[in-house]
Amino acid sequence: MPQGIALGLLSTWLLAWSPASRGEPEAETEPPGVVLMAPDLPEVDDDERLIARVRSAAQEGEASLHVVRYDPEAFDPATLVELSRRRAGEHVAAAVLWLDLRGPGSYALYLFEVEGERVLGRRVPIEDGATAAAHEALANIATSVVAESIEGPVTGLTPLDPTTLEEAPDPEPEPEPAAEPETEPEPKTEPKPKPLELVDAPPPPAFPRLWLSLAYAGSSFSRDPLLSHGLALGAAWSPAPRAFVGLRYDLVLPLTLDDPQVRLLLRRHPISLEGGYRFGLARRWDLEVAGRLSVDPIRRITDDRSALAPTADAWRLFSSGALAVGVGVAPIRELRVGLRVGAEGLLSRADYVANDPESRLLLSPHPVRGFVELGLAFATLWRPKKN
């Protein structure tokens, strides 16, 4: 009897101190997630408006929405299931929604359900070129699909063939099985635990390894002649995304010095080692910080009509270091248009003088020069290769 009383008191004490009796809140579960695969359309903003509509619907349903961009030109229907599995595994999502704006006669929407791995879809026709109406209809369907993916089964979409994204044929009705004699029920067995599924890590993003460039290069040179103009030709290697190091050669127009007694022609041949980094900005813009070291062999040519005889040092070697900042925009992934300004300081220099019979200064290069460059850069050798 005393043992029974002790057990009863112990049970009452445990119930009183349990989390349920104290009203402690249960751990909040993370809201369901949906991955939105949106096409990358830099020329228009139709994709941005669709994404904004779908994101608003996800926020109202208290769901997490993960937006992933894809290249519409490289889209292959046969890879939709594989890519959807990968993206769902990355973001722990219940569904992956694809927006297809390639046209030309219709837009499309595809839904990959992780549970059951079904592919559903729907097409929105573009009637008489009314693309705005088609965009609005596609946005309404997409927001409804996101809400239904969170709250329950999705309706209004048609099952599709996963390999072709065409409407799947209706399955043939199976014949009714013959009646089997009643047998005694077998004892229930515990289900085996499902093995863990290993998901491949997503491939790293592709970036160009080799840049080929050409640009106008203008800089100050001396008091007379004041400016130097040329065409810069360069090749740069990217060891990491947005970083670069390379070589360049400037084709510089000859500089002319007219003096009452002597006429000089200077031909520059600057060769530079440069490197830098580009910081990504909104959309396709970037901010560039760069530096370079240069050697500049300059050949002096004296006109035959000059009254003074030239000296033997027809070639002189100058060296310099420069820092620059710039901005650039990539209208397409393979092309960058950039503007760069900076300052260059001479590390070694020499003046040009005339002995007639006393030394007279003809030309003194500026020790610090300002410069501006405007040009194009072409991206090649993308690594790793695009899907």
- Is 197 contained in some domain? no
- Among the residue ranges 123-137, 268-282, 299-313, the one predicted with the least confidence is 299-313
* Domain of residue 334, CATH code: 2.40.160.20
The separation between CA 16 and the C-alpha centre of its own chain, rounded to angstroms, equals: 57
* Domain of residue 124, CATH code: 3.40.50.10150
- Is 166 contained in some domain? no
333 in the same domain as 236: yes
- Is 214 contained in some domain? yes
225 in the same domain as 95: no
Q: What are phi and psi for residue 256, nearest 5 degrees?
A: -115, 135
The separation between CA 169 and the C-alpha centre of its own chain, rounded to angstroms, equals: 39
343 in the same domain as 227: yes
137 in the same domain as 38: yes
Read off the tokens for 280: 């990504």
Q: What is the mean pLDDT of residues 254-282?
A: 88
- C-alpha distances (whole Å) from 207 to each of 127, 145, 194, 287 are 39, 34, 39, 17
| Bigger pLDDT: 343 vs 152 | 343
- Containing 328, the helix (H) or strand (E) segment is strand 315-332
Quick check: 27 pLDDT over 80? no
- Is 196 contained in some domain? no
- Is 4 contained in some domain? no
217 in the same domain as 133: no
Read off the tokens for 150: 């969170």
Quick check: 75 pLDDT over 70? yes
Per-residue pLDDT tens for 245-257?
A: 999 999 999 988 8
Number of separate domains in the chain: 2
- C-alpha distances (whole Å) from 321 to each of 246, 274, 342, 345 are 15, 10, 11, 6
| Bigger pLDDT: 203 vs 371 | 371
341 in the same domain as 233: yes
367 in the same domain as 266: yes
Q: DSSP letter at 270?
A: -
Among candidate residues 159, 177, 193, the one where a domain is terminated: 159
Per-residue pLDDT tens for 79-113?
A: 888 888 888 888 888 888 888 887 777 888 888 88
Q: Where are the alpha helices (DSSP H) in the chain?
A: 2-16, 19-22, 46-60, 80-91, 131-151
Among candidate residues 124, 141, 159, the one where a domain is terminated: 159
348 in the same domain as 243: yes
Quick check: 293 pLDDT over 90? yes
Angle at 191 between CA 187 and CA 196, to 5 degrees: 170
| Bigger pLDDT: 10 vs 211 | 211
Quick check: 310 pLDDT over 70? no
| Domain membership of residue 94 as a residue range | 31-159
Angle between helices 46-60 and 131-151 (to 10 degrees): 30
Quick check: 365 pLDDT over 80? yes
Angle at 83 between CA 79 and CA 86, to 5 degrees: 150
Residues 6+ positions from 347 with CB-CB distance below 8 Å: 319, 320, 321
- Is 170 contained in some domain? no
Per-residue pLDDT tens for 105-137?
A: 788 888 888 887 888 888 888 887 777 888 888
**Type of residue found at 348:** S
Q: What are phi and psi for residue 88, nearest 5 degrees?
A: -65, -40
From CA 238, how far away is CA 208, in angstroms rounded?
A: 7
Quick check: 311 pLDDT over 80? no
Per-residue pLDDT tens for 164-213?
A: 878 766 656 666 776 666 777 777 777 777 777 766 666 677 888 899 99
Read off the tokens for 78: 């046969």
